[in-house]
């Protein structure tokens, strides 16, 4: 296996390391910080309350994570299998922006948020992966920017799909 293929196949692993922090810590963190969120960020808190996000159980959160994990794994595997690395690069770009958003959340909140430790720990992988990809790619700078934009857009769209699945699972869970 080449170095770049190994780096590419590590993306789903790195993604899950990050997501475990969120899955494990989210419920307890919300319980302890909900009132402060309501006071400091009332519009954001109200938006998430209306959508039931704060009511998600750990298993519901895991459904959304599994959805994203399957997508990022399929993209990584197929990219290595076919040699069409631009799709993996798009996924890497989407994940990297995801981490940067978490870092901004932490900076704005000025306290621990249940994603920051692994955001800071996995961001170096993203930087290294980008540097290694840049060495081997035949994509031009413009094409890399284009694929990064595609990855960011697809990441946002996949989040809508993940939240849809989470909502379905939440309704099923409440019926049982």
pLDDT of residue 50: 92
Q: How confident is the model at residue 1 (pLDDT cuts 50, 70, 90)?
A: confident
CB of 112 within 8 A of CB of 32? Answer: no
Distances (CA, A) of 101 to 30, 104, 105, 132, 135: 18, 5, 6, 23, 26
- pTM for the whole thing? 0.93
pLDDT tens digit sequence for 34-48: 999 999 999 999 999
The whole-number average pLDDT for the span 102-108 is 97
Question: Within 13 Å and on the Cβ side, how many CA atoms surround 147?
Answer: 21
Residues 60, 91: Cα–Cα separation, whole Å: 23
Residues 132, 11: Cα–Cα separation, whole Å: 13
Which residue, 89, 116, 111, is CA-closest to 101?
116
Q: How confident is the model at residue 54 (pLDDT cuts 50, 70, 90)?
A: confident
Alpha helix segments (H runs only) across the chain: 3-40, 42-50, 58-82, 85-109, 116-136, 141-175
Q: How confident is the model at residue 52 (pLDDT cuts 50, 70, 90)?
A: confident
Q: Which residues form the domain of 84?
A: 3-175
Instruction: Supply the mean pLDDT for the chain.
Output: 95
Helical packing angle, 141-175 and 58-82, nearest 10°? 150
Of all residues in the chain, the percent with pLDDT exceeding 90 is 91
Which residue, 105, 127, 125, is CA-closest to 116?
105
The total domain count for the chain is 1
pLDDT of residue 21: 96
pLDDT of residue 6: 97
Would you say residue 65 has pLDDT above 90? Answer: yes
Q: Which residues of 143-153 are buried (b: 16+ CB within 10 A; e: fewer)?
A: ebeebbebbbe
């Amino acid at each position: 296996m080449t170095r770049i293929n190994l780096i590419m196949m590590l993306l789903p692993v790195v993604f899950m390391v990050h997501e475990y922090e969120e899955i494990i810590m989210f419920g307890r963190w919300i319980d302890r910080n909900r009132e402060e969120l309501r006071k400091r960020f009332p519009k954001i808190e109200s938006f998430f309350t209306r959508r039931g996000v704060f009511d998600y159980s750990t298993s519901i959160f895991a459904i959304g994570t599994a959805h994203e994990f399957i997508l990022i794994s399929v993209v990584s595997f197929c990219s290595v299998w076919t040699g069409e690395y631009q799709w993996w690069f798009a996924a890497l770009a989407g994940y990297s922006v995801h981490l940067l958003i978490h870092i901004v959340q932490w900076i704005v909140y000025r306290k621990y948020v249940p994603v920051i430790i692994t955001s800071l720990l996995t961001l170096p992988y993203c930087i290294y992966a980008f540097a290694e990809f840049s060495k081997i790619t035949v994509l031009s700078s413009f094409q890399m920017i284009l694929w990064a934009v595609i990855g960011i857009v697809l990441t946002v769209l996949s989040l809508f799909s993940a939240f849809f699945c989470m909502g379905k699972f939440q309704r099923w869970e409440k019926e049982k």
